[in-house]
Amino acid sequence: MSGNDNHDEQSNNNGVPAPRTDTGEVIGVRKGMFGADNGGDTSGYGGLVRTVNLPGATSRPYGGWFDEVADELEGALEEQDLLPANAIEKTVVDRGELTFHIAREHLVRVAQTLRDDPALRFELCTGVSGVHFLGDKGRELHAVYHLRSITHGRLIRLEVSAPDSDPHIPSLVAVYPTNDWHEREAYDFFGLVFDGHPALTRIMMPDDWQGFPQRKDYPLGGIAVEYKGAQIPAPDQRRSYS
C-alpha cells in the first residue's frame, strides 16, 4: 500500500495536489513574482501578494498506515522512557505525505528507533535537504530527512529546525552512513552544523568561502569569484550587451 492510497481527497483527478484547506502557520508575506524588492519589476507580476505558510499539525486519525507508524513510533519511544510529546513536536499529513517534526536533541534516538523497530524498519535514508525560512523566527533553518522502509514499502519524512543563531543539529551518519555527503552539502550551502559528523567540510564551495549561498539572506550579486587565478567580475559589474 502506498502513502497516497487513503489520501485521494488531497489530490484532484489529474493527480495535482489539492490546495491546503487551512492556513497553517503563517510566517511571512511575499510580494511580486520572485520576492525582489530593490528594483523595478519587469515580470508583470509585481502586484502579486501571498502569504508564506507552513502546514499546521494534523489531528488523528491520519488515515491508512500513517496511524500504524505513528502508534508504533510513540510506543517504541515510551518503552525507552522517552515521552513522545517531548520528541515529536508535531505530526503533519499534507499532500498525501507524513512528516514528523522532531526536537533536535532527540533526533538520533528517533531515527534509530525508526530504523531498528521491526514494525517500522525504515532502513534507508535517501538524504537530507536544507531549507531556510527567514520568517520562521527562532527556527529559521530546517533539515528534512526522507526515510524509506524497504521491508514495508513506506515513505515518511523527519523535519528538524534550528535558529540561525544556533544552527546545530545532531549528525545521523552513525545511524544512516549514506548521509555523510548529504550533510556536508547541507552544511556547505545552508550553514547547518551537524554535530558528530566525521568530517564536516565544504563539498562544493572553496574551503575559505564566506557565507552560505542557499540561505535566503545571501546576496544575489556583487560577489567577485576567483577560479585558478582568473578573476570573474561580480554580476553587477560585468559588461552589458544591448
C-beta of residue 139 within 8 angstroms of C-beta of residue 162: yes
**pLDDT digit string, tens, across residues 199-224:** 999 999 888 888 899 998 887 666 66
Q: How far is residue 9 from each of residues 15, 19, 95, 157, measured CA to CA in Å?
A: 11, 11, 9, 20
Low-confidence stretches of the chain (pLDDT beneath 50):
1-13, 15-18, 241-242
Side chain identity at residue 213, one-letter code: P
Instruction: Write the secondary structure of 54-120 as one string of H (helix), E (strand) and C (coil).
Output: ECCCCCCCCCCHHHHHHHHHHHHHHHCCCCHHHHEEEEEEECCEEEEEECHHHHHHHHHHHHHCCCC
Residue 209 is classified by DSSP as: -
Residue 208: predicted pLDDT:
83
Q: In this predicted structure, what is the pLDDT of residue 57?
A: 93
Q: Are 186 and 197 in contact (CB under 8 A)?
A: no
Q: Considering the entire predicted model, what is its pTM?
A: 0.80
The pLDDT score that the predictor gives to residue 242 is 43
Cα–Cα distance measured from residue 135 to residue 65, given in angstroms and rounded to the nearest whole number = 33
Cβ-contact 192, 160 below 8 angstroms: no
All cell numbers assigned to 14: 489529474
**Rounded distance between C-alpha atoms, residue 85 and residue 93, angstroms:** 17
